[in-house]
Structure 1
């Protein structure tokens, strides 16, 4: 796919961070956009800042509301008559030790990061099959490839996404459906501030690694290129993406490196 400006793209988690940056960059390219999150006011602000706001529709979405997905998908399709690309970007992170984490926090992480994404994907899948084309672009994490302390539930959900979407790619390649998994390293967003602690409350503070991560706009531009190239997986970040390769070839070395890094 060389051109992307003629595509209709639905972005979840569009009210901040990576999703917001993607919205601006894709609007510059002339894409027809549907942007979703829980925060309608913030979506409206972002829409109005786009290069072509008249080509941006807002659609509020509660990702963990499984029963409502079919109606949400029908609404998204109604704006333009079709969706070409679904960018599964919405999600929440975690900062707590396993021993200190309530089971309800794990449920929240799985409901939002995994099951909500799966439910939305399944709801739009018949539309992609019917039109004989479609691309799922799912934002996971390098934490979907290896683990790190304080992120057990987050890592588990991201690992699960890789398993699900690898199989979806295999089962529906015959239907013209593509799957691209995007694995960010550290990106300078509010993900750490919004991360859940062991009790389920937000952390409300940032961390050194996140603050020094990639600029969201730089990340968005690299991600759009990966979408254009229809990559199976793309690792986008700084030196932390080397962990993907260490996990594959030198897992014990990665274990020592992660423990020494003291990343929170």
Structure 2
């Protein structure tokens, strides 16, 4: 699969991985729809891209998941169709379970899971009618195994895998593809913006994120996985080996994570 003449919709496009995707895809002969909550940042990304005339912005908030049918209708009208939806928007969390307000768990589920699911379901009839389409979902390695201080985040990301694996099975007959992208540590602001126990932002970077993959390297690997229509892709440094350790022994993975000082 190539991106030429495709219409690609990216959520969480105002910074980090989403911004990197927009910059890289703008070099190719495709059209982009960029979404996030922040219109000013989206406009800045659009101006930074090549061929900005092929890029439209559509601000909205994933937390308002009841509005996704209207949002999706507006998106389709921009270029007349959508070929690929890259579900990249979301937030993270850093706090011990015992201290974390249930409102934080709720917010993570509303944004990372329900917002993404509602948007994808709203677009599904369009994909079925066209008998084609690809969902790309940026989950996390934390959607495959867990880590301390990320309970709400891990829960939401695990849920995404359950939903989209089912969608892939149900709509194989409609030629709809699902690619789950599982990043390890990527050097973005995800840790700074992560919610703490009371719902406030952490406000600082952690060492593992700071030393993670550069966004441009990550994006190139991610786009390769999308082109190949992979079911899942694990992209990171040594933390990716957790996927394979889990297959050997859950108890061993438990010990490795406790000793790795990822918190």
Q: Which residue is equivalent to 1:241?
A: 240
RMSD: 0.6
- Contact 1:5 1:26 (8 Å CA) reproduced: no
Aligned to 1:131: 130
Distance in 1 (alpha carbons) for counterparts of 2:229 and 2:113: 22
Q: What residue number does 1:40 align with? A: 39
Aligned to 2:257: 258
Poorly superposed stretches of 4+, deviation over 2 Å:
none
Tell me how far apart the structure 1 counterparts of residues 49 and 37 of structure 2 sit (CA, whole Å): 19
- Residue by residue over 1:120-175, the C-alpha shift from the partner in whole angstroms, topping out at 9 and shown as x without a partner, is 00000000000110000000000000000000000000000000000000000101
Cα distance in 1 for residues equivalent to 2:75 and 2:8: 10
Structure 1 Cα separation of the partners of residues 224 and 192 of structure 2: 28
Q: Is the 8 A contact 1:133 1:176 kept in 2?
A: yes
- TM-score of the superposed pair, with normalisation by structure 1: 0.99
Tell me the residue number matched to 1:173: 172
Superposition pairs of residues 16-31 of structure 1, within 5 angstroms: 16-31=15-30
Q: Deviation at 1:25? A: 0.4
Find the counterpart in structure 1 of residue 144 from structure 2: 145
Q: Tell me the alpha carbon deviations over residues 19-67 of structure 1, each in whole angstroms, 9 at most, x when there is no partner.
A: 0000000101122000000000000000001011000100011101122
User: Counterpart in 1 of 2:196?
Assistant: 197
Structure 1 residue aligned with 2:217: 218
Which residue number in structure 2 is paired with residue 63 of structure 1? 62
Determine the C-alpha separation between the residues in 1 that align with 2:40 and 2:241. 38
What runs of 5+ residues in structure 1 fail to find an aligned partner?
A: none
Partner Cα separation in structure 2 for residue 109 and residue 52 of structure 1: 35
* CA displacement, residues 198-246 of structure 1 (integer Å, 9 cap, x when unaligned): 0000000000000000000111111000000000000000000000111
Higher mean displacement: 244-253 or 170-179: 244-253
Q: How many residues align?
A: 263
Q: Distance in 1 between matches of 2:122 and 2:240?
A: 32
CA distance in 1, matches of 2:261, 2:99: 18
Deviates more, 1:99-108 or 1:57-66: 57-66
Unaligned runs of 5+ in 2: none
Aligned to 1:231: 230
Query: Helix, strand or coil: the match of 1:234?
Result: strand
